Amino acid sequence: MSEKALVPDELPSKMQLTSDGKLKHCLTVEKLPPLLLDEILDRAQTFVTPPNATQKKYPLLRGKTVMNLFFENSTRTRTTFELAAQRLSADVINLDIRTSATSKGESLLDTIRNLEAMNVDMFVVRHQYSGTANFIARYCAPHVSVLNAGDGHHAHPTQALLDMLTIRQHKTSFQPLKVAIVGDILHSRVARSQIHALSILCTGEIRVIAPKTLLPEGIEALGVHKVFFNMEEGLKDADVVIMLRLQKERMEAALLPSEREFYKLYGLTEERFKLAKPDAIVMHPGPANRGVEIDSHVADGQRSVILNQVTNGVAVRMAVMSMVMDAQVQEKTKGLS
């Protein structure tokens, strides 16, 4: 299956909304209406529970079936989607792709059709090819919603949304913020979705810091205000520092001399982090490679919100799942009237 074949003709930003502007699928953050983005974050905040709290179950997805289709490895994302569905009282199935019929040559569409025939209401899809979630959303039954859990280097909307929620919990407003995204921007679907989200939220200064070889061409067009090749310059006075993993599995050629060299130039050490504002926070979508992009003292330090991101991951996924379900109910009611 070629990557090109998966790119559907309809824009994911349009395809994910109903004619009433409700979130029917969650495919991308790009061009998400600002009010809808705020609504997701507000709703997610209501699902955030303090540590040690007795987990509340909500009946919002009772009787619904969510199917996790992860064609690529994942720990945090798959587990938090699963927990989110369970906390909303849905039945959740994790399809083991390694033993599924797709690995025996069945086409993706055939697999989807068969799963739909089991009355699935929602697919959560992660795939190594950009456009897979859009493709499934385009061809699946009208009553099914698709949530993109990361496609190639294209988009990872719920990750960016949980990151925005985390920033919002620590900073009063996005407008005055200087946010620096550091590392392998070229292969990062997370960075792309974060840049879209930060732009929609009118972030004062969106910076990227990376070696030339790990920066996609025309990154400014996505909404980046400043590009830095020098880590020290880029970190200066930042309010939020987002570190990214080197995505070696997506690198087709040697884009870096070595991990050691990368750490020397771009690793976030305690010394370097001092260049950011004194109340700056550090984030990482995980999995973090200590000693490659981030020092352990920083990752585990007072200003690290990396584990808050994980907690918020459950809440954001609950918010998105409940909102697409609302859109489904509304569409069904419209169809009946």
Give me the residues that bind ligand NCD (CB under 6 A), please.
76-77, 150, 156, 159, 189-190, 245, 247, 285-286
Pairing status of strand 145-151 against strand 178-182: unpaired
Q: Is the dihedral of CA 332, 333, 336, 337 positive or negative?
A: negative
Instruction: Give the Cα separation of 116 and 123 in Å (integer).
Output: 9
Min dist. Cβ of residue 247 to ligand NCD (A): 6
Min dist. Cβ of residue 193 to ligand NCD (A): 9
**Which residue's CB is nearer to ligand NCD, number 240 or number 327?**
240
Min dist. Cβ of residue 5 to ligand NCD (A): 22
Instruction: Give the Cα separation of 326 and 309 in Å (integer).
Output: 25
Which residue's CB atom is positioned nearest to ligand NCD? 245
**Which residue's CB is nearer to ligand NCD, number 17 or number 165?**
165
Min dist. Cβ of residue 179 to ligand NCD (A): 17
**Which residue's CB is nearer to ligand NCD, number 156 or number 317?**
156
Min dist. Cβ of residue 127 to ligand NCD (A): 11
**Which residue's CB is nearer to ligand NCD, number 12 or number 22?**
12
**Which residue's CB is nearer to ligand NCD, number 28 or number 77?**
77
**Which residue's CB is nearer to ligand NCD, number 100 or number 247?**
247
What does the DSSP assignment read for 31-95? T--HHHHHHHHHHHHHH---TTPPPP--GGGTT-EEEEEESS--SHHHHHHHHHHHHTT-EEEEE
Min dist. Cβ of residue 190 to ligand NCD (A): 5
**Which residue's CB is nearer to ligand NCD, number 60 or number 256?**
256
Min dist. Cβ of residue 219 to ligand NCD (A): 17
Strand partners for 93: 67
Min dist. Cβ of residue 324 to ligand NCD (A): 19
**Which residue's CB is nearer to ligand NCD, number 94 or number 247?**
247
SS3 214: helix
What 92-101 contacts at long range (C-beta under 8 Å, 24+ apart), as own/partner pairs, is 92/65, 92/66, 92/67, 92/68, 93/65, 93/66, 93/67, 93/68, 93/120, 94/68, 94/70, 95/67, 95/68, 95/69, 95/70, 97/69, 97/70, 97/71
Buried b / exposed e along 81-96 (16+ C-beta atoms within 10 A): bbbbbbbbebebbebe
C-alpha of 152 from chain center: 12
